[in-house]
Amino acid sequence: MKLTVLTDNNTYIDRYYLGEPALSILIEADGTNVLFDTGYSDVFIKNAEALGIKLAQTDYIVFSHGHDDHTKGLMYLEKADIHKAQIVAHPKCFDKKYVGDLYVGSPFDRQYIEHSFCTALSDKPLELCTNLWYLGEIPRVFDYENGSVGETETDGVRSPDCLYDDTALVYKSKKGLFIITGCSHSGICNITEYAKQVCGEDRIYGIIGGFHLFEDDKKLAETVKYFTDNKIEMLYPCHCVSLTAKHRMMEKLNVQEVGVSLVLEIE
Ligand SMILES: [Zn+2]
Ligand SMILES: [Zn+2]
């Protein structure tokens, strides 16, 4: 499995790609190309072009969840000649989402998505290709990961958004599971536990993505303990992980920097 970071908040010195506070990662596995999130703009397309990557060959576009820093790039797919890709997401991914009066959801609703694209909207796990899984809805098992972000709107009624659409990908490598996550609103420990269950594998080789950890609080302490207890070999926190959170992880774990153009090859 080869993974390339196309969009992230961070860029590296002397590598002239574009950054934005968003996420997009390309995964190539078993002859299948999977675009995981599309960021907030066409930055993922510009960076892919600069990296010599042909996004036209994308087989699946998987959305981690509906927030616009992961879905708004959908508006620019024509520019990348992406026509044959199937969209894979949770059925609630394209519901309206707000933080106060600010709209933070997908640029397109479910009806438009199903009309315009080949889609597989699923709250159940799907094996996209050999050893690469889309997890679907993540069971919430750890109390410290409960919470909501803004509001979601169903039939004109707003309620706190617990992000049941939040999901992740997992690759079953020879050394254990490698998890690719967006913002982990469903909880990175909940995601990891479910990945183990779905793949029938307890070893966690690595995790890349946003963990939605900012404060030096109980949730962070419990998460670091969980990562340590699970002997996770490599952590690639990015996008929505504060410096404080990275610092706490680095005290106990092997934490690597993430930025646009990072390539990981995992057997
Ligand atoms: Zn989010
Ligand atoms: Zn995000």
The verdict on pTM exceeding 0.95 is yes
- Nearest in space to 144 (alpha carbons), one of 198, 210, 213, 197: 213
145-199: pLDDT as tens digits: 999 999 999 888 999 999 999 999 999 999 999 999 999 999 999 999 999 999 9
In angstroms, rounded to a whole number, what is the distance separating the alpha carbons of residues 106 and 119?
Answer: 15
CA of 105 to the centre of ligand 1 (A): 9
CA of 64 to the centre of ligand 2 (A): 9
Scan for tokens 């997992």, then name that residue.
170
Cα 23 to ligand 1 centre (Å): 10
Ligand nearest to the CA of 148: 1
* Section 49-61 average pLDDT: 97
H/E stretch holding 43 reads: helix 43-50
- Residue 43 clears pLDDT 90, i.e. is over it: yes
**Tokens for 13?**
């010195």
Q: How confident is the model at residue 96 (pLDDT cuts 50, 70, 90)?
A: very high
Quote the ligand 1 centre to 174 CA distance (angstroms): 30
Tens-digit pLDDT profile for residues 70-92: 999 999 999 999 988 999 999 99
As for how many domains the chain has, the answer is 1
Average pLDDT of every residue of the chain = 97
CATH number for position 104: 3.60.15.10
Compute φ and ψ for 265, nearest 5 degrees. -115, 120
Domain that holds residue 180: 2-265
CA of 116 to the centre of ligand 2 (A): 24
State how far the alpha carbon of 67 is from the alpha carbons of 161, 163, 185, in Å. Answer: 11, 9, 10
Which ligand has the nearest atom to the CA of 149? 1
